[in-house]
Copies of this chain bind each other. A is one copy, B any other.
Amino acid sequence: MLDICLAGTGGMMPLPYRHLTCLMLRHEGSQLLIDCGEGTQIALKRRGWSFNPIDYILFTHFHADHISGLIGLLLSIGNAERKDPVTLVGPRGLKQVVSSLRIIAPELPFELEYMELGAQPQESLQLGAFHITAFKARHRIPCYGYTVEIPRQGRFQLEQARALGLPVQLWGILQRGETVEYEGETYFPEMVMGPPRKGLKVSYCTDSRPTDNIVEGVREADLFICEGMYGEAGSQQRAAEHMHMNFEEAADLAREAAVKELWLTHFSPAMPHPEEYLEVAQAIFPNALVGKDGLSKTLKFEE
């Protein structure tokens, strides 16, 4: 199960009813955030999500609207009695940027751990139960999209387990993915587990021109959350000038990547009612939604 909440949907500048861009994910009590513009701590409070379980914060890039809420967020995490380290992930320079911002919050009751992304177009990371693929985007400064996956192991093969002659009470160890030593023999999980089943896959990409590398990174996601800075049909040129995407380009990516569902986000402050342009996206990719602050969904493993 993976809880998804689009905490903020604003690009560039917040509006009174629209927080800056932030995506929140929750799986088995662990929270992962992607981006935290100014006001993210308020958005979290508004949605009732806790601060203490925030284990990971990923940054697409270092423009202010994606990171200006970090200091307030870290202070609120500290105030929620967090003691365990929080891991930050982002483009090269992450530690320098965060350290510089921390001039107004030099003391925190927990450690920060940094993972800076390298030069490859696609990079894999394991953050607790979250399997991450960072994929390069194309913006004015180094920028990444992220795919977050919750893998799902194969079915337990009852017949094979019986055939091994292992006592039933040892089956659970193999099911948890561990090896069993029994009467001088070694038993491996793959002896009783079927091939991995379809897991859960959410992708997030903002502040980029469309690229093949994005299509690759988000392919067949259950949910693709993509920037739609401009809604109007035919606004591709404006989007290109500002190194952003419009609704049509986001919908094109969703179609090419064969994702299941598309949420648009990161709206220009000059577009107070992005829902007016929903049809522009749906004409290309019917299962598109125009995001709004608080839009939530829970993904579950297929039956």
Contacts and interface: CB of A to CB of B under 8 A. Distances in A.
Contacts of A101: 100-101, 103-104
A268 to B, nearest CB: 11
A91 interface: no
A277 interface: no
Interface residues of A, number: 30
A78 to B, nearest CB: 10
Given A64-B75, A104-B64, A104-B68, A46 B13 contact: no
A69 B40 CA distance: 12
Contact of A13 (B14, B63, B75, B97): B75
A218 B85 CA distance: 44
Given A45-B15, A97-B104, A103-B100, A68 B72 contact: yes
Contacts of A65: 72
Contacts of A15: 42, 45
A13 B79 contact: yes
Instruction: State the oligomeric state as a number of copies.
Output: 2
Given A38-B41, A39-B38, A39-B42, A72 B14 contact: yes
A105 B64 contact: yes
Contacts of A105: 64
A71 interface: yes
Nearest to A64: B104
Contacts of A296: none
A287 interface: no
Contacts of A46: 16
A281 B65 CA distance: 40
A120 to B, nearest CB: 25
Contacts of A87: none
A67 interface: yes
Nearest to A96: B103
A91 to B, nearest CB: 12
Given A14-B45, A38-B39, 9 more contacts: A13-B72, A15-B42, A38-B42, A63-B104, A64-B104, A64-B105, A68-B104, A100-B100, A101-B104
Interface of A: 12-16, 38-39, 41-42, 45-46, 62-65, 67-69, 71-72, 75-76, 79, 96-97, 100-101, 103-105
